[in-house]
Structure 1
Amino acid sequence: MISHIDHIVLTVADIERSVRFYNRVLKMEEVTFANGRKAVKFGNQKINFQLLGQEPRNFARVGSGDLCLISHWSLDEILQHLSAEKITVIEGPVQKSGANGPIQSVYFLDPDSNLIEVSIY
C-alpha cells in the first residue's frame, strides 16, 4: 500500500531559525511552496515547518518530533561536521536497528528539541 514517505511536518517555534539549522547542519535545501510556506528538501523527501496552531487539524507540539535520517557520509565525517557546527551529540555512536537492518547512529537536538538521529548502514 505505502511506497515511501513524501514529506513530514515539524511544529516549530521559529520557521526561519529551523530552516537555517537544517540547511547549515544537515545540508538540506530550502524550499518555499504554497503561499510562502517553508520546508527543507533532501533527495525525494522534504520536511515542512509549521508554527504551533497554524494547522488546525494538527495537534503536535513544538519539539515533539523524532527523526532518523540516513547519511551517505562516514560516521567520522558526520561527527567532524557536527563538531565544526558546534552541535552537541547527546548519544552515540550507537548500534540501532533501521528499516533495512543494523545502523550506527548519533543523536542531537534541533533548535526546538526535536530529536535528530543521523545514521549510516
Structure 2
Amino acid sequence: MTGDHEATKKLDVDAIWFKGQRVLRTVFTTVLTVLPIVPQVVQVVQGQWPAATGLTAVAVQAVAINAALTAIIAIPTVNTWLTAIGLGSVPRKEAKANAAAKSQELQPAQYEPSDVDYRSQQGD
C-alpha cells in the first residue's frame, strides 16, 4: 500500500518564485478586504446584528471582496502599476532588469554581418 507521502515524492514541482511578493500581495488584498467590513464586525460584536446572520453576511462579503480584488490585481495593467509601487507579481528590481534586457541595444542582430567592404567598391 502506497502512502500519500510516497506519491508526492514522484512530483516534480518548481520552486515558487518571488515568495515575498506573493506574501505582500496577499497582505495587500487582505487589508483591502477587511477595511470595508470592520464596521459590520463591530456592529455584530456590539449586538446590533444577530450574531449568526451577521457573521454569515460578513464572511460572504469578505470572500466576494477578496475574490474580486484577486482578479483585479491579475489584470496586466494593474499588475504593472502594482509593480511600480512594489506590490507587483515580481519585485520592481527584477521587472527593471527584464525591461532593460528587452531594450533594442541588447537584442541580437537581425542580420548576419557581411564581409563586403562597401568603401572600397565606391568610385572616386
More helix by share: 2
**TM-score normalised over the length of structure 2:** 0.22
Flag the structure with larger Rg: 2
More strand by share: 1
